[in-house]
Structure formats: C-alpha cells, structure tokens
Structure 1
Amino acid sequence: MSEAEAELAAQRELRERIERRKAEKAGPVQAGARLSGKAADLLAAVRAVESGGKPPASVFTEPEPAPRRSAPEPVRQPQVMPSATPAPVASEAVDTVRAVLVEGGAPEALAAQVAAVLGEGADAQLRENPWQLLRVAGVRPEQADGFARALLGAECGPDDERRGGAVTVWLLEQAALAGHTALEAQALHAALAQRSVPDPDAAVQSALAEGDALVFQDALDEPGAPAAPAPSEDDGEGEEAERPVRVLIGLERYALAEESLADGLARVVNSLPKEDGSATDWESAATGSAAELIRAVAGHGLVLHTGGEASRAEPAALAATARSLGLRVCAAAHTPDGRRRFAALLASAERADRGAASGPDPLSAPGFGTEDETGAPDGPRHGTGEAGTDETVTTVAGLLAGTEGPGRDADGMLRTDLLIVVDAPQLDVESAAMLAESLPDGARLVLSGDPGVLWSAGPGRVFADLLAARACPQVASRTPDPGPIGELVSGIGIGELNQVAAPGKEVVIVPVRDAGEAVHRTVQLIADSVPRAIGIPAEQTQVITPGHGGAVGTRALNTALKERLNPGPGRFGGFDPGDRIAYSPAPGRTVPGQVVKADADGLHLECAGAAVVVPKERVEQTVRHGWALTAHQAVGARWPAAVVVLPGDAAQALTRPWIYTAFGRAEQHLSVVHGVDQALPRAVAEVAAKPRTTRLPALLRAQVPAAG
C-alpha cells in the first residue's frame, strides 16, 4: 500500500468510527448499562429499595483498610555514568547484512551498525535500496554509489529516484551536524546538484513522499529579513499582497523538537499566576547585583540572563533567594565541572544570606525566613538543605536522564518551581524541548549563559534565537570578569584583541614558526614551564587546539604529551592507567577523566568522581586521550591554566566565538602558542559565528508576544 492509499484508508476508518459514535449517542441509553464494580452495586441497591426490597448489607460497608507497610528509606547508590552501548542486534541479522555488504564490496565491519540503524529486514532493505547505506554514520555518497553499482549493475544510475531521496536525507543529516535544524529549499537544491543529482526537485519530493523529510513555509518578518513588498496598483482592489515566505526542508525529529520547544516555552510564559501573593517577598529579597534578575523572575515565567563567568554569582543568588522563599529550586549546568562551580557559588550565596539574616538587624535581610535551632531557614526546603546536593545542582544530561536532580512526579514533570540552566548556549533544540516539556505549570525557567561562546554541538541555536526573538525579559549582567584574562576575553567578545598588562604572567604569548616547534613548545609549557613558573601542575593545565587532525591537532599533541607525562605501551586499546582521557557518552558531550584499569568488562574510567566502564567494542568510538581538547569539547569547563595552540594551518578555522571560548577556559594563567600571525586579530575583529538555519524564532513569534 502506498503512502497516499494508507492515508485514505486511515481517513475512512476514522470517519466510520465517528459515524458509529454518533449513532450510539443518538440511540436510547439504558440507565446504568455501562456501570461496573462499586457503581453497579450501588445502582442495584437503589433499585432494590425503590422496588420495596432490601439492599445487600455489603454495599454500604467499607472494607477494612489494609495495614500500611512502612517503606524503607531508599539508599542512594553512587552514580555510574552510562556507557552508551547500543542495543544488541541478533547475530543472525548481522550475518545476513554482512553477506550483502561483502557482495557489494562494503566493509564487513559496518554490519552491526547497519543492522542496528535499519532494523528488522536490514538485508532486504539494502538489496532493494543500496543507498540506505547512507544512513550509517561516516558513509559518504560516493561510497554508497560504489556499493549500489556492485549490487544493481546496469540498473544503477545517478538519476535513480532511490538515490535522490537517500542523498537528500544524507544532506539534511550533515546539515544537522553543522547545527542547522532545516535547510532552505534553494540551498538544498544546490547541494543536491553538487552531488550529481540531475533533478533536485524530484529528489526532495521523493524524500517528502517517503516521510523522511518535512517541508515548511515560514513568513519572512523576522529582524533582518526582507520586508514584504508593498502592494502595487496592479494588485486589484481589496486584494492583499501575499506575504513573502521562505521554504524550508528539515528532518522530522528536529522539526518536531522545535515545535515542541516553542509550545513548551509558550506554556511556561503563560502558566505563571499573575498574582501569586509573593511579589512583596521577591521585591524585599532583590538586593545586590542580582536584584534586577530577581525582580524579573518574580513576575515572569521565562527570563534570559547574559554575562561572563563572574556573572554566574547572580543566578546563584537567585537560587538562594528562591530557596529561602520556600520554592523548590533546581539548577543545571552543561558539564560536571560547571555543576561543581555553580554548587560552590550557591553554597557561598546561602552562607551570605544566613549571615545577613543572623546579623544585629534582622530587617537588613527582608524576605528571608527566621532560623530554627539547626540554623536552617524556616519554610519548606527542597532536598537536604545543603547547597550543591544532587537534588539541587545537576548537569542537563543527568537531569533529563533521571540520574540527578529532584526526580519527577506522577505526571512525569520535574519536581521544581524554578529551573535555572547555566551554560544555556550549549542547549541543543532536542535537549531544550525536553526541559520545557518537563516543567510543571506555574514553574519558572531562567536560561543563563555567555552569548559570546560557541553554540551547541547539536542542532539549533536556542539561546541566540530566544535573545533575537525578544519573547521574554532579558537581564544583562554588569559584573565584569576580573584580572588580565577577564579583560582580554571581554575585549575579544566585542571584537577587540587588546594587549593587557599581566604583571603576574597571567597571559603569556609564545610565538612559533612551524608545526614541529608548536608541538615542542606546548609539551614544554605543560611539563615544565607552567608548573615551575606559575605553580600549576600539569594535571590542572588543559591544552586547547582547533581540531583533531593535522600536525598540531589533538591526536598529535596527545601522543606527544602522553610520551612525556605518562609513557606506556598502551596495552588497553592505546591507553594505560593514569592516562588523561575525554569520554563522550553521547554526541556533543565530553567528560574529562582518567584511566583506572582494564579487564574483561572493558576500560575502567573515573569521570567527575563517577565510575565508568566502557565496553571494549565502544572504546574506539567514545574515548580519546584528553591532555589536548578542542574548544567545542572544552566549553562549559574551566581549568587553573590553559595552553591554547594556534598553528599556522588553523588560520582558516579561527572565529571570534572559538577564540573567546578557548581563551576563557583559563582561570589563573593563559599561554598562547601563536603561529597564525595576523589571522588572530583578523578573526577576532571580522569572523563571527557561522549562521545556522532554524525555525524557532518564527514559531515563537506565532505563540509568544514580544516582550519589547
């Protein structure tokens, strides 16, 4: 049955059900005919009384309640991070897929991935449409073309409808990896033409007909978009000029995620009670640098907060204030290191509040509850009352997975009245949609972050889209990042690469001439210069470089750093106990850690205080050495010292957000291994973030009025 026939059959079945329901409602209804259980017994008793009989005595007697058994207090187990092992596939299915791959000249190693991606009947799907191989990560169109020629022979050609649809989906997947949630129709057609698809329009229609992609029309009335043309005299009286639209093509999962996110944010904005009686309490607690943020949150369900690293103290003060007012508060960071730093700020804010409340003048801290003998403010408190517990401060991934945070109620909603998300620029559209959907009605949401850092690894630019849409209050922090590093990074944020005074060697520039010297200087800085001159050991210093490949990429630098800092034979898949690693449990997430040991179960790691066991077959895909990272891997975390390596071949990859992010990972000391000459100031001044195509601003305009 074709897609159209299936749709018509479903519509016929729906109409038949509607007609049956109408007929049932129009017919006579026998009173009590559909009752059962207790209701039926009560109705029978009433009828017995009406007819002069005696009702059963058991009807009006309540059974003795069963004795309530006290449940033991649950024991919190130490958190173990998931190993991201895919669901196992039957060996028979893998064997049949392997036979097809061998016949088509494709690597046998892809058999398990193909069977997992295509599901049941994967071998038959490949024979019917060999270009389905493009659904496996890492396979390119030219490789799928060779596979198809081997299987189909003379039937294979560039104008094959199956090829056009598969290449369309592949291009949309590649666009998602680059951050787009959809592509404009013109851009997609041009990309298809570059891939030798003779009829791009037919290829797109094939993907739409198969349900692999969706088409959208968004009005072009966002800021910076072309204005709608004025009606001309030839338009005719009473006829309105058509509004210009842009046609977008996107994958279903990201389209639904953006629509779900817009719906969820609209609900957050509109579900906050207009008058909840707490305005006075919020106003009295609005003091210090966080006063503007506290006032904004008091009257709005959704608030955006922008600022650098030092501005994190403001959402921490907001969290302390909300907890003192009896609200259930949860804060989520992008990385375990961000969780640790925010927990420390929250603990500091609560200590300051308690100190102010217990001072000689109780009225100097209005809005905070009085303290009992235990020293805890009165009123309901969430969790254990200690800042930084798992119930209060979490990671976004842990909160969504249910391994951290306050848990969920019977309806699946988070048990929180205020959710604060720091590192908000790292929210991709799917994670943001899950968070918005998980908030109960009446809860407040605060998205806080630095708009100058790199955007999320996943599709979308949620924080930037919300800032551009102006659909809610925006509070910009005026708290500057301190010291020479803060001054340098702040200047980069506005497009200026300033020379800053660094009397304590907070910022050091190390010029190099070629890749070999860059690697040598980097190892020297980590192993000798920074520990000796600055006093920061090698394990607290992070190397950041633009990419994984090349002569000065993460692979080359990690090889050199391992040889100097932890030499060994690499008996466990290239790793030895004591190696610094970067573990990626999911795409876009990187957790630093250390190798503990290896055995039959896999590679044992310690990541952010949690034990992780990575199965042997997953080590190559999820674990890398971690002395050197890219800026995308390092975002959301900070180290006492950072060495940023800028080799000559990286000049084209530099952008202002990349430099801003990389330089901002250092707390006390920053060394820059500089080999790009004038490309660095040029990138800071001229090269902004690469644009991403998203639908969220248009969806928000349709649901949430502008906040001005």
Structure 2
Amino acid sequence: MGAGAVGVAAGVTDGGAADEAGADGGGDAAAAEGAVLSEAAAELAAQRELRERIEQRKAEKDGPIPAGTKLSGQAADLLAAVRAVESGDKPDPALLRAVAAPAPAPARVASGGAPATPAAPVAVAPAPGPVPAPRAVVDGVRAVLAEGGAPEAFAGQVSAVLGEQAAGLLREDPWQLLAVPGVRPEQADGFARALLGAACGPGDERRAAALVGWLLERGALQGHTALEASAVRTALAGHGVPDPDEAVRHAVAEGAVLVFQEGPDDDENENENDDDDENEAEEDAGGEEAGGGAREDSTADDAAERPVLLGLDRYALAEESLADGLARLVKTGPDASWEEAAAAAGSPSAAELVRAVAGHGLVLHTGGEAARAEPAALAEAARALGLRAVVAAHSENGRDRLGGGAENGAGAGETGSGGGAGRDVVTVAGLLAGAEGPGRDADGMFALDLLVVLDAPQLDVETATMLVESLPDGSRLVLSGDPGVLWSAGAGRVFGDLLAARVCPQIASRTPDPGPVGELVSGIGIGELNQVAAPGKEVVIVPVRDAGEAVHRTVQLVADSVPRAFGLAAGQTQVITVGHGGSAGTRALNAALKERLNPGPGRFAGFDPGDRIAYVPAPGRTLQGSVLSADADGLHLECGGAAVVVPKDRVESAVRHGWALTAHQAAGMRWEAAVVVLPGDAAQGLSRPWVYTAFGRGARHLSVVHGVDEALPRAVAEGVPRERVTRLRGLVEGLLAEAGA
C-alpha cells in the first residue's frame, strides 16, 4: 500500500448525516504524541469513568466472551437463535425471549420509599476527540505502519483509538485498522497484505470480523443503532467475503457484535396470553409439556417473520439504558401542586403542556420556532412553584434565543432577555459536562425537578441516555421539538421513536410560526411547496443557470442585497447548502465569501483574524464564532462570547469557515436571514426534511438560490427520509407492557 493509502479523513466518507454535520475530516495526525490535553480534559476524564461503568455493566450482564472459545450461557443462546431463524428452522421460543429481553432496570431510590443503591449514568456522551496516546505507544504504532506501507503520520490517531496495545494488535490483526474513523476496507486490505503477505485472503476470519464491525459503525454514522443481518451479509458479499453467513456467525461467536430479534408484536402478545391460560389449565391437569408445546409453535412462527438484527454493544447498552430510564419516567405519578400553575401559563397550548406535566413524568411537545415559548413558560411556572427547572437547547444559538448566553456557567444567575435566570437556560452539552446548569448531587444526578429539552430531534441515543440516566427519581422530563426537521447526526431516532411508541402524553402546539417564511415552511411540512405572499420581500427566489452563477449570486445577496433591504450586518445572514463538496458546496461558497467579506492570505492554517468559522468539537455539535489569532498553542477563537483554543493538530479536522453551513450543521440554530443555495448538482441530496430544515432557518428573510428546477417540489412532495433501524421503540414498549403500564 502506497504512502497515501491511509491518508484518510476522520469522519464519514460516504456522505452520511454525521459527515454533513461535521467539519472536514483532515485526520488528527501524529502531532498528538506531544500534545497537551485541551480544555476538554476534565470532560474526557469523566467520560472515561462512564466508559468503565459501561464495561462493568456489560460484564455483570453476560460476562466476557473470550475470542476463539466455545460459547456458553446467553451468548450461546443468542447464536443458536440466530442460526435457527436464518436457516428456516423453528427456534426455541425461550431463546427468542432472551434475545428480545431488555436489561433489567437499575435499582433506584423511590420517592418516599426505602433507599436503594443509586444508579449512575452508564452511556457515553460524544467526546471532543480521542485522548492522545503516550509517546512510546505512538512510536510503536509508527513502526508497524511503516512496515505496512501506511503513512507514519497516522500513528497518533491509530494509537488514540486502539489504545496502549495498538502496535501488537495491528501486527496480529492488521484489519484492526478499520476501527479508526475514515479508514476504508480496501486500505485495510492493502495494509494487511503488506504485513502478512500470502497468509491473508478475503476469507480471513479476522478480516470478516473487522468488516462486520466496520459495517455497523458505518451504519451508525448514517443513524442506525443496528442493522438487519441480511443487509450485513449482502454488504460482506460486496466486499468479497466468500461465506458471508459464516462471517456473521464468527463475528457473533467472537463477541464482536450482538444479535437481537426484537420483541413480540401485538398479535403475538395475544397469542402468548392465550397460551398462558392454556398452559395453566393443562398444568393443573398434569399437561405441562403439552402446554409448553403450544406456546413454542405460536412464538416460533411469529419469530421467523421478524428480522434478526446485529448491533454493537455501545449502542445496544445505550438503547437498553435509555429504555430503562424512560420507562421509569413514564411510571412517575401525578403531582397535584402543578395544577395551580396551569392557569398562569399564558397561552392555551402552554396551559395544556403544564397540565400534562402535572400528571406524567415524561411528556413530548411538538411545534415550530414560535412554539418554543411554551416549554419556556412551563419552566417559569415550575420555578414559580419553587421547583428546580432547567431548559436545555441543542446549540449555543438556540440557548441564546431563549435568553441564555456565555454567562450561563454554573452559579451564574443573571436574567436574560428570555425572562429566565441565566443558569436555567443551558445547552445540552454544557449541562452534561457540568459547565452550565445546576450541577449534580452526591449521587451524580442533576440537581433539578424538571428538565425541558428543546430541539429534541437532534438527540442521538447516547446523548439522550446520558440525560435520562442523570435525572433523579421523581423528576420530570419534557422533550420538545419539531418532528419535521432533520434527525440527529449521531445514531438513533430518539424523539421519533418515542412519538411512534405513544407511551406518554404528546402535546402538539397550536402556535404557528408567523409571516411568509412560517407559512412557506408549514406547507413544506405537509408536502406542499406553495407560493406565499411576501410584500416585504420576506421570501425571494433567485433562479440561476449553473453553479458559478449560484456562487456569484449568493455572495451578492450576503454582502449587498440582504443587508441593504433589511438593515442587517453580514454576520446576521447564514448561507445553507446541501453538502461540503461540489461546485457550490460549503467549501466553494466559503472561499468566495471570505474573498469578499474578509480577504487575506490565510496564514493561520488557511484562516485569518476576523474569519467567520464553524468549530465542531464533537460530531453533531457546531459552534459558530470568529478567528482571533493563532500561536504555538493553536487557533484562538471566539465562540458565543467564550474564548476557545483549538490545538494545531485539531484545526484541520474540527474547524472550517462558517459563512456557509450544511442544513445538518444549521439544525437547532436560527438567524435573522438565511440564503439557501440549491445548485443543479444538489438535487440528489434533497428531501422534505432537508428543505424544511433549511428553509426554516431565517427568522425575517429567506432567499433561495434556485437551480434544481423540478427537483425541489418533487423533494418536498415525495422526499421522505430514509428510515433508521433502531431498537428503542420496541424496548420501551416491551418494558411498559411487562410492567402493565
């Protein structure tokens, strides 16, 4: 493999949601060997502790599966079940129930009850990046990479991902390289051939196991928490694996992946209830074996129709823990003291929301931008009752729109323009890190009674698990958001799964977004691209013939037309386009906008003081700001009023110019004006959620640079999002069914 074979980007390489939501993946090269830990070191240390708790929980549940040894216990049951289903045989229904059974809920302290062992959060929040490995580890990996023909500069990132034994792991199993974000199978194959020579081939068991894990990680970048086993086998065949069936079985046996067959549907529940009655009667008459046989036939027939899923333990544990926590919240009883707050809530929708929270521990709230005032009013009503209430938004931009700001650190108490105390309006990331909000109690739980999470569609499964597992018993959770926008950049579809499960009250706001932009976006939400009256040029369509004209007209709009018509500064207008690449993607648009708005030589890794930037500290989280300076410590930024230093080795992968963003990056944020750019080559990237999200980012004005002809109305009418494979809905429904809720 040549020197450039592994010079790949850290991140998604196939245009998935996380790629669109992130910065350019330039690779955190080997500069990590001598780097000083960034300002996120404290957060990373806490997350390492949470990772250890995950491993401890996994060990307590099943115990480790030593590679190459015979399976026993539940692991053997799972493998037997998947083999039986895939071969067409009738599996043992007891095995299928073991496959579908979620993890037991952790012991907690019930309100007014006897104390129990407190449960701590068990999921891992997205980390800003891997912790740099020691120099000796990096040197060892560098030697192995050189031997395999891979770029030695890649050693730092490989070491950070694979850990202290990285060199030995790579030498024994070169396909471990696929665990590093951005590495593709053909690159790992070339590396393996260089190290192993004729000793390796496409059917190598090590290659097969690594490919299965890589496919599941790739699926997670596209939003899936699991994949159907049949889809994995098909993909393995596409990568030249001679026996995909055996490859999947081997990956399960080695403990590289987990196997599931999700729980019974409603018809099966009815069958099992009937069978239970029959079994009880026959047991009384001495017919225990006959009754058991009747249940097996019913369960096995239904089970054969349900797909077998493969998943990584990381997402499996997160979904199981999240389901446990959500079921606990659903079972939280009513509190009559809330009723008096409903009368003071303001709008009828807000009053309805308060009454729902009075009776339930988990409530879902849907609505657009204007509807955000309703959960904010709920939080104010809770505070008026003497309760501890916090509102958390996805982004700093969303937090600031509710009156929060850079002063929202722990202990701040200033009142913002939104009417709430500064510390009571936070970001989700800041709340989890302890940098914002009320902090945690002695058991590691949030010191609050009510948590309202805005922009709930942006919650991936791991972040949602961290939030829910950090809520103390007796507290209440409201998830609020617009179900029409793009889903999270990370794996999962938490808000959508809960809306579909219907296990708690759902309050739909009756407050529409005002003005021509609101009217246009409301139509898009139901599949209609309508012409709207815009007497004040609130909505403007700018037709273009090609990408070059699209870039030219975009610069003209941002620099001249929109500021002149609406009295806005250039920084109050945001450009949104389909992707980073292409003739009118973020790279091309940002280059043109920089040349017009802040020209310079780009002497700081392509940046100059005053450049508008988008900083991605973790996948799915974008901070906007500007460049201040650069020195030996890295690139100095100002983001939302706070000073940020990005180490030199992180700049290429985490920072890009920010005059133009993708719609995924812009989700959860809003500006006074938005310019949406749709060049001809953008047609394939359009869907109804994409258009809905992009067109709704401008509060006062929307310009559409339109070069996709009929592809735009077709996307609005027909472009439904691709479904994500997740397990959360079934897990929550199963837990509540078992509890009789």
Answer whether contact 1:101 1:107 (CA < 8 A) is retained: yes
**Per-residue deviation, 1:106:** 1.1
The Cα shift of 1:236 comes to: 12
Deviations for 1:385-443, whole angstroms, at most 9, x for unmatched residues? 77444421100000011110000000111011010000000000001011110001110
SS of 1:584's partner is strand
* Corresponding letter in the other structure for 1:241: S
CA distance in 2, matches of 1:406, 1:238: 55
Higher gyration radius (CA):
1
Q: Determine whether 1:331 maps to 2:391.
A: yes
Identify the match of residue 181 of structure 2 among 137, 142, 156: 137
Structure with the bigger RCO (C-alpha within 8 Å, sep 6+) is 2
TM-score by length of 1: 0.80
Q: Do 1:655 and 1:689's aligned partners in 2 also have CA atoms closer than 8 Å? A: yes
Give a deviation string over 1:55-112, Cα, whole Å, max 9, x none. xxxxxxxxxxxxxxxxxxxxxxxxxxx9946423222221221111111111112111
Could you report, residue by residue, the CA deviation over 1:447-466 in whole angstroms, capped at 9, with x for unpaired residues?
00000000000000000000
How far the C-alpha of 1:238 sits from its partner, in A, is 4.2
**Paired position in structure 2 for 1:473:** 505
CA–CA distance in structure 2, aligned partners of residues 707 and 445 of structure 1: 21
Q: Does 1:281 align with 2:340?
A: yes
Match of 2:311 among 229, 232, 250: 250
Residue identity opposite 1:685 in structure 2: A
1:408 paired with 2:440, answer yes
Alignment equivalent of 2:196, drawn from 152, 157, 168: 152
Q: Partners of 1:236 and 1:392 in 2: how far apart?
A: 56
1:494 aligned to which of 526, 539, 560: 526
Say if 1:286 and 1:295, in contact at 8 Å, map to a contact too: no
Q: Quick one: structure 1 residues 397 and 163, their matched pair in 2 at CA, closer, same or farther if it must change by over 3 Å? A: same
Deviation at 1:282, TM superposition (A): 3.7
- Confirm or deny: 8 A CA contact 2:208 2:247 kept in the other structure: yes
Structure 1 residues 237 and 217, CA gap change in structure 2 (3 angstroms): closer
SS in 1 for 2:403: helix
Partner of 2:467: 435
Q: Paired residue for 2:263?
A: 219
Residue 145 of structure 1: how far off its partner (Å): 0.6
Match of 1:291 among 344, 351, 354: 351
Quote the offset at 1:485 in angstroms. 0.2
Structure-2 residue corresponding to 1:363: none
Tell me, yes or no, if structure 1 residue 190 matches structure 2 residue 250.
no
Q: In 2, distance between residues paired with 1:207 and 1:262?
A: 26
Contact 1:159 1:199 in 2 (8 A): yes
The one-character-per-residue Cα deviations of 1:647-682 (angstroms, maximum 9, x if unpaired) are 100101100000000000001111000000000000
Give the whole-Å Cα distance in 2 for the aligned partners of 1:238 and 1:139: 50
1:111 maps to 2:172: no
Deviation at 1:597, TM superposition (A): 0.8
1:260-659 matches, within 5 Å, as 260-270=321-331, 272-274=332-334, 276-285=335-344, 287-289=346-348, 290-343=350-403, 387-659=419-691
For 1:2 and 1:280, how far apart are their aligned partners in 2? 56
Q: Is the contact between residue 220 and residue 246 of structure 1 (CA under 8 Å) also seen in structure 2?
A: no
Give the residue type in structure 2 aligned to 1:307.
Answer: G
Identity in percent: 69
444-453 vs 86-95, which moves further: 86-95
Secondary structure, counterpart of 2:262 in structure 1: strand
d(CA) in 1 for partners of 2:346, 2:560: 46
- What letter is aligned with 2:216? L
Q: Distance in 2 between matches of 1:699 and 1:83?
A: 26
Q: CA deviation at 1:343?
A: 2.8
**Gap change, CA 1:226 and 1:454, over 3 Å in 2:** farther
Q: How many residues align?
A: 596
Counterpart CA distance in 1 for 2:436 and 2:236 is 44
**Cα drift, residue 8 of structure 1:** 7.6
Quick one: distance in 2 between partners of 1:655 and 1:117?
34
The answer to whether structure 1 residue 241 and structure 2 residue 298 are counterparts is: yes
Separation of aligned partners in 1, 2:160 and 2:326: 34
Q: CA RMSD in A?
A: 2.8
Deviation at 1:246, TM superposition (A): 2.3
Q: Deviations over 1:498-554 (max 9, x none)?
A: 000000000000001111111111111111111122322211111000000011110
Paired with 1:246 and 1:413, the residues of 2 have a C-alpha distance of 37
Amino acid at match of 1:641: A
In the alignment, the residues of structure 1 paired with residue 152 and residue 193 of structure 2 have an alpha-carbon distance, to the nearest angstrom, of 17
> Counterpart in 2 of 1:661?
693
Unaligned runs of 5+ in 2: 1-64, 76-125, 275-290, 406-410
Is 1:583–1:623's contact at 8 Å kept on the other side of the alignment?
yes
1:146-185, Cα deviation, whole Å (9 max, x unpaired):
1111111111110100000001000000000000000011
Q: Distance in 2 between matches of 1:318 and 1:131?
A: 52
Unaligned runs of 5+ in 1: 12-81, 346-380
Q: Supply the distance in 1 between the matched residues of 2:293 and 2:649 (Cα, whole angstroms).
A: 70
- Structure 2 length as normaliser, TM-score? 0.77
- Shift in alpha-carbon separation, 1:130–1:406, aligned structure 2, 3 A: same
Partners of 2:346 and 2:377 within 8 A in 1: no
- Paired with 2:560 and 2:467, the residues of 1 have a C-alpha distance of 45
Q: Deviations over 1:252-276 (max 9, x none)?
A: 1100000000000111122x344x4
Maintained 8 Å contact 1:222/1:697: no
